[in-house]
Amino acid sequence: MSVSGYITNKDGDVLLVRNLHRSDTLEMPGGQVEEGETLEEAIHREVFEETGIKVNLHGITGIYQNVTIGVTCVVFRGEYQSGEARTAEGETSEVFFTKITKENIERLITRKQFRDRALDAMDANYIPYEAFKAKPYELVSRFEVKKEYS
């Protein structure tokens, strides 16, 4: 299981990284969920480790399964909270916020699977997320879908 984050700043720019092992593309920060960690904890940790940025999360915008390698990625959308963008030794070679549009995304995010995740997050349709412990039941965290009724 992995997580990724579509993180925006106050200007609407998106946080992108260039990973050392995938230098042909930019992508949203993220990585593997560690044992015993919630998805929410994992995205906070991964974004901070890769970029030095702390974030506020809004919810989940998609779930993507790579059948070839057996990895499922959950994409969160969030916003900048604090920190200075910086690279992570041995992991990222570039970290920055930039404008992403449907017109320029192919130039920035060259791998289709990463581009699709960003496009879905750009037009976010949030899905519910809940983390809990069992026996006895304890709610750890929850993101609900916010619905507007007319």
Share of the chain above pLDDT 90, in %: 83
Which of the residue ranges 15-24, 58-67, 120-129 would you say has the lowest mean pLDDT? 120-129
| pTM to 2 decimal places | 0.90
What value does the mean pLDDT take over residues 95-110? 97
The lowest-confidence range among 67-71, 76-80, 112-116 is 67-71
* Cβ neighbour number for residue 53 with a 10 Å cutoff: 22
Tokens encoding 28: 């949203």
pLDDT in tens, 30-61: 999 999 999 999 999 999 999 999 999 999 99
d(CA 8, CA 14) in angstroms, rounded, equals: 4
| Confidence at residue 128, expressed as pLDDT on a 0 to 100 scale | 85
Return d(Cα 7, Cα 16) in angstroms, integer.
8
**Of 122, 80, 85, 105, whose CA–CA distance to 25 is shortest?**
105
Q: How confident is the model at residue 121 (pLDDT cuts 50, 70, 90)?
A: very high
> Which residues have a Cβ under 8 Å from the Cβ of 110 and sit 6 or more positions away?
24, 25, 26
pLDDT value for 149: 40
Question: Could you give the CA distance from residue 68 to residue 1 in angstroms, rounded to a whole number?
Answer: 14
Cα 135 from chain centroid (whole Å): 30
